């Protein structure tokens, strides 16, 4: 599985279609992630979890104060000061385009900001100045307009994909507001994630559902949503949390895979290597959650923030061009 052609874009969509044997989204979505990733890890050939080192790393992280600060969204990168309706719209819009790490080395970054923080803060500035796009505006949004909003070169493949994702969001919303979508989930983070995964192909990250799950978590962190089942979510498997685990010795990569990553070779979406890396991160963080008594979603935020440190940025992480992360 690599990419599927999208005639509306005149290009392929990296990451689609999903693996044929991956689970379908359902109301036991987090449990499906856990079962799917365990199966991958049990059969893994390229990635191994060092369980003893994991326990040592947890002790070190706790002594470093990893869990002292509650998980939170950075107000310098995100639009959090608006009304509940505006912040809900911002986060749903942001998480619709919360992918592109495989392209981030090629985009124009804001000083001192990573690829994600560049996109999040540019979108936040747009919301502060112009407010949310209407649903009709989303449905007709073109890449040239979005490139200006995000201060990126016109014609960049990632911006084309972002525009498609936002048009999908507009179609999904139809005549509803983001708050109405939230209300329809009925205080269930899992129900919201399932709805997003079923409704929009770029959210249907089969077996992981990174962005479908992180949307619910972001809404909760921003204080605009209350969910009764938030702690059922898994981590939001991308390329940074497994990178932190690798640098700290928890994940061990086969020499040929480690060499490819260290040389900056892109891993194809859905390849054995890419699936094993993400699955191992999920399973390792499940164990970390057991050892600390903290939910995987919080472990994810802490390790993602830890990955912003210079020692992690000095080592290449795996890069995959996909619409899922």
pLDDT at 3: 56
Q: Can you name the residues that pair with 48 across neighbouring β-strands?
A: 252
Which is more confidently placed, 17 or 202?
202
Residue 207 belongs to what domain range?
A: 84-232
219 and 238: one domain?
no
pLDDT in tens, 80-118: 999 999 999 999 999 999 999 999 999 999 999 999 999
For the chain, how are helix, strand and coil distributed in percent, rounded to 5? 55, 5, 40
How does residue 7 score in pLDDT terms, banded at 50, 70 and 90? very low
pLDDT in tens, 229-248: 999 999 999 999 999 999 99
pLDDT in tens, 279-314: 999 999 999 999 999 999 999 999 999 999 999 999
Q: State the average pLDDT for the chain.
A: 95
Tally of structural domains, the chain? 2
pLDDT in tens, 158-194: 999 999 999 999 999 999 999 999 999 999 999 999 9
Domain annotation covers residue 2: no
Three-state SS string over 79-138 comes to: CCCCCHHHHHHHHHHHHHCCCCCCCHHHCCCCCCCCHHHHHHHHHHHHHHHHCCCCHHHH
pLDDT in tens, 146-166: 999 999 998 999 999 999 999
Mean pLDDT along residues 6-13: 58
Which strand (E) or helix (H) includes residue 219? helix 210-221
> Residue 14: phi, psi to the nearest 5?
-65, 130
Structure token digits, residue 237: 């498997």
pLDDT at 112: 94
pLDDT at 286: 98
Q: Which of 321, 323, 317, 318 is nearest to 95 (CA)?
A: 323
Domain annotation covers residue 13: no
Please give the model's pTM, rounded to 2 decimal places. 0.95
- Which DSSP letter does residue 17 get? S
Domain annotation covers residue 7: no
Classified as helix, coil or strand, 49 is strand
Domain annotation covers residue 218: yes
210 and 307: one domain?
no
Q: DSSP string spanning 265-317?
A: PPPPTT-HHHHHHHHHHHHHHHHHHHHHT--HHHHHHHHHHHTTSHHHHTS--
Residue 145 C-beta-side C-alpha neighbours within 13 Å: 12
Q: Which of 232, 255, 290 is the last residue of a domain?
A: 232
How does residue 4 score in pLDDT terms, banded at 50, 70 and 90? low
- Cα separation, 263 vs 318, in Å, equals 10
> Residue 6: phi, psi to the nearest 5?
-125, 105
The reply to whether 231 belongs to the active site is no
Q: Which of 232, 263, 292 is the last residue of a domain?
A: 232
- Cα separation, 130 vs 128, in Å, equals 6
- Cα separation, 303 vs 6, in Å, equals 35
Q: Which of 238, 248, 262, 300 is catalytic?
A: 238
Residue 254 contacts residue 46 (beta carbons within 8 Å): yes
148 and 186: one domain?
yes
Structure token digits, residue 252: 């061990």
pLDDT at 19: 86
């Amino acid at each position: 599985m690599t990419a599927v052609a999208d005639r509306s874009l005149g290009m392929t969509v990296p990451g689609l279609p999903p693996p044929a044997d991956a689970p379908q989204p359902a109301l036991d979505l987090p449990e499906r992630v856990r079962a799917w990733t365990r199966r991958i890890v049990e059969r893994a050939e390229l990635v191994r979890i060092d369980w003893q080192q994991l326990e040592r790393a947890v002790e070190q992280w706790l002594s470093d104060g990893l869990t002292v600060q509650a998980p939170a969204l950075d107000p310098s990168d995100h639009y959090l000061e608006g009304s509940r309706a505006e912040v809900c719209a911002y986060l749903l819009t942001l998480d619709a385009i919360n992918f592109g790490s495989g392209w981030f080395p090629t985009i124009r970054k804001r000083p001192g900001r990573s690829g994600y923080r560049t996109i999040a803060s540019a979108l936040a500035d747009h919301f502060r100045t112009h407010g949310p796009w209407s649903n009709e505006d989303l449905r007709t949004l073109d890449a040239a307009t979005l490139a200006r909003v995000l201060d990126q070169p016109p014609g960049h493949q990632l911006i084309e994909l972002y525009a498609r994702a936002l048009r999908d969001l507009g179609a999904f919303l139809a005549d509803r507001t983001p708050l109405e979508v939230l209300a329809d989930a009925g205080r269930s983070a899992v129900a919201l994630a399932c709805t997003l995964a079923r409704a929009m192909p770029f959210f249907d990250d089969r077996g992981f559902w990174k962005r479908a799950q992180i949307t619910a978590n972001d809404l909760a962190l921003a204080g605009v949503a209350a969910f009764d089942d938030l702690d059922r979510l898994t981590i939001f498997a991308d390329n940074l949390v497994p990178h932190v685990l690798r640098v700290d010795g928890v994940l061990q990569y086969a020499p040929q895979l480690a060499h490819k990553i260290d040389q900056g070779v892109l891993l194809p979406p859905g390849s054995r290597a890419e699936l094993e890396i993400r699955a191992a991160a999920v399973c390792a963080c499940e164990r970390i959650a057991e050892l600390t008594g903290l939910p995987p979603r919080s472990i994810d935020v802490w390790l993602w923030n830890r990955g912003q440190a210079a020692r992690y940025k000095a080592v290449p992480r795996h890069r995959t061009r996909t619409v899922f992360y």
